[in-house]
Amino acid sequence: MLRIVCEDVWKSFVRKSVLRGVDLEIEPGETIVIMGRSGCGKSVLLKHIVGLLQPDRGRILIDGEDITTLSRKHLYILRMRFGMVFQGAALFDSLSVGENVGLALREHTNKTDEEINRIVEQRLEMVGLEGVSDKHPAELSGGMKKRVGFARAIAMDPECVLYDEPTTGLDPIMADVINNLIIKLATELSITSVVVTHDLASAYKVADRIAMLHDGKIIFLGTPGQLRSTDDPYVRQFIEGSAVGPAVIGSEE
């Protein structure tokens, strides 16, 4: 299980400042949900945690090690401890489902084809998808693609899984299936989970703690119960889904 610390993280793109001094500590084994309006920088923060983006200022500490100073080689070694589920699943089009899930095993381990196939089937079974190994991503529905993405993310037994908008674009029933899957993986595999979403129902269901990102900073951090009872006007406007309030419409898009 990993301990992740973001210290005063700043990031700008061209002329837009997205993160303006984010401080966040993620404890080992917890499921933390990062919420905020579309375009507020949730996914950008997530990508900083695995070194896909470099901050303009600040540090990202993984178990005390600053990943912003790591070489590419060491970053790859560190990334083997992570899994990530992407918003659009990001499955490799040219590979079958089985090849997608088993790719990291094939690249980083000396396991035989039989062993890899067995692990792939086991992971697919965990996400409720059996017998789809030979299919290609184009033949799957949105929910199935997401679940294949889950299976691929946990293929290497990661210590931390990052979820980028895992329920976006799914029907409520499939969204709940995904929520249950996040809880199941967190409890069965004892992993640290970081979930980025603006789906309140999902956040309340899976989170140990919820962080709210607004104007490039974390403006709230607490349990789902504390979120429900907070007086912060920005947070209240968000959880009430109101167009009227201190958050200016269009300011973050």
Contact residues toward other proteins (CB under 8 A) are 47, 50, 52, 72, 76-77, 79-80, 82-84, 86-88, 90-93, 103-104, 107-108, 152, 156
The dihedral formed by the CA atoms of 202, 52, 57 and 61, expressed in degrees to the nearest 10 = 70
**Beta partners for 10?**
20, 57
Kind and range of the H or E element at 51? none
- Evaluate whether 185 touches 159 at the Cβ level (below 8 Å): no
- Evaluate whether 30 touches 222 at the Cβ level (below 8 Å): no
The dihedral formed by the CA atoms of 77, 78, 80 and 85, expressed in degrees to the nearest 10 = -140
Tabulate helix, strand, coil % of the chain (nearest 5): 40, 25, 40
Query: Which amino acid type is present at position 33?
Result: V
